[in-house]
């Protein structure tokens, strides 16, 4: 079956998924914002799948004007000739115009969603509009349990939903950890690692409050923060307030080939987000064999973390509990750590490239057999695409 997947920009994580899926089906990928710097990847996709790109807007974080957008989308569909189109989101003009054109051409669509009901305050009017828009999608691929529940709450048929979407190349990170162990490059002294963008919702300041308590109570491990973006200065100021600020390193964004080595050198992983639809870095850390401390606000927690078994979970507003868990990680015996890592990797088997590929294929088959075309969905898509720049 020929599929077209539309998303902002292909990153190394998407590429791994698409490479695997392309073994099972003919795959085309459309980059709607190919110059986007939301994530500063230095990456060139491979050739296992065909790539199409939109152009025509000076702002790399915006879509072309509607007339130009429609012409380009029609041309891409004519070239790719997909039986099913997969849209990685619904909020952009490009995604909304794609829905309108696919409906005209009677091409069923699959929606990809990692949104959760608790992500933000919900407006009754906006939720109603979203419900109407979703009538135009024939199937869905979701991140996990919470995103599945949200789509069902919006009226999506449970049997039309597959998962997972948020997966990484588990073997790549596992191999990097093994290589680090083999060449003795583990960090000395041992360290907690946090990889995430330096933005407010990632809650680095909350993490630093917990690490301060950890230091005050005699904690010996260092803390390594890797990322980029607007909150870097505030994070640096928070580091200076620690009892021993020299034990925290603040480092820039890493490309994937360098990031695997960062995981391989670490001793444990922590993500303290106050809101996070999934938290893909947790998949990476678990695959790399690191014990993980994960905020209960992360979507991945429900699916990946059994507290005390596959990792540890904490309230992001409770730095004292996080500090206690950091001490608990530090005190783990080799056997306790091994048992946790084995349990975590077993849990990740349901979040692999193979499971993603199967979910994508199942969604496409369901959409093809149960096409949904809704005039309400078209009306909302048209209204939204004209309201947005």
Which pLDDT does position 387 carry in this prediction?
67
185 CA to centre of own chain: 28
Provide the domain limits for residue 33: 2-167+352-387
Q: How many CA atoms lie within 13 A of 261 on its CB side?
A: 7
Which pLDDT does position 357 carry in this prediction?
97
* 62 and 203 belong to one structural domain: no
Task: Count other Cβ atoms within 10 Å, centred on residue 291.
Answer: 24
* 338 and 201 belong to one structural domain: yes
CATH of the domain at 158: 3.40.50.2000
* 325 and 180 belong to one structural domain: yes
Cα angle value 145/148/152 (rounded, 5°): 135
The chain-wide mean pLDDT, for the chain, equals 94
* 208 and 116 belong to one structural domain: no
Q: What is the pLDDT of residues 221-254, one digit of tens each?
A: 999 999 987 889 999 999 999 999 999 999 998 8
Stretches in the chain below the pLDDT threshold 70: 46, 184-185, 387-389
Number of domains in the chain: 2
3-class DSSP state of 244: coil
pTM for this prediction: 0.93
């Amino acid at each position: 079956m020929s599929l077209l997947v539309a998303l902002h920009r292909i990153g190394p994580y998407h590429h791994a998924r698409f490479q695997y899926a392309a073994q099972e089906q003919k795959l085309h990928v459309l980059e709607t914002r190919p110059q986007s710097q939301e994530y500063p990847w230095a990456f060139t996709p491979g050739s296992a799948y065909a790539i199409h790109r939109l152009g025509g807007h000076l702002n790399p974080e915006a879509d072309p004007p509607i007339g130009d957008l429609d012409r380009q989308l029609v041309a891409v569909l004519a070239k790719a000739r997909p039986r099913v189109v997969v849209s990685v989101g619904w909020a952009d003009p490009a995604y909304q115009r794609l829905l309108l054109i696919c409906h005209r051409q009677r091409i069923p669509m699959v929606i990809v969603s990692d949104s959760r009901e608790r992500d933000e305050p919900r407006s009754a009017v906006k939720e109603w509009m979203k419900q109407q828009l979703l009538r135009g999608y024939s199937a869905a691929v979701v991140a996990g349990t919470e995103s599945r529940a949200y789509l069902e709450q919006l009226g999506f048929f449970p049997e039309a939903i597959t998962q997972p979407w948020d997966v990484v190349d588990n073997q790549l990170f596992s191999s990097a950890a093994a290589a680090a162990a083999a060449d003795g490059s583990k960090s000395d002294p041992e360290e907690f690692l946090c990889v995430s963008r330096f933005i407010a919702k990632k809650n680095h300041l909350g993490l630093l409050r917990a690490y301060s308590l950890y230091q005050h109570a005699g904690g010996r491990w260092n803390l390594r923060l890797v990322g980029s973006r607007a909150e870097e200065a505030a994070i640096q100021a928070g580091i200076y307030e620690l009892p021993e600020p020299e034990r925290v390193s603040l480092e820039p964004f890493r490309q994937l080939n360098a990031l695997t080595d960062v995981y391989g050198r670490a001793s444990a992983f922590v993500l303290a987000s106050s809101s996070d639809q999934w938290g893909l870095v947790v998949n990476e850390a678990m695959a790399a064999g690191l014990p993980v401390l994960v905020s209960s606000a992360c979507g991945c927690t429900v699916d990946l973390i059994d507290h005390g078994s596959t990792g540890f979970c904490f309230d992001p507003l409770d730095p004292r509990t996080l500090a206690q868990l950091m001490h608990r990680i530090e005190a783990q015996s080799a056997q306790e750590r091994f048992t946790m890592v084995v349990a975590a990797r077993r849990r990740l088997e349901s979040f692999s490239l193979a499971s993603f590929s199967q979910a994508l294929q199942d969604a496409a088959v369901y959409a093809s057999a149960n096409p949904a075309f809704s005039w309400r969905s078209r009306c909302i898509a048209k209204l939204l695409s004209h309201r947005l720049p």
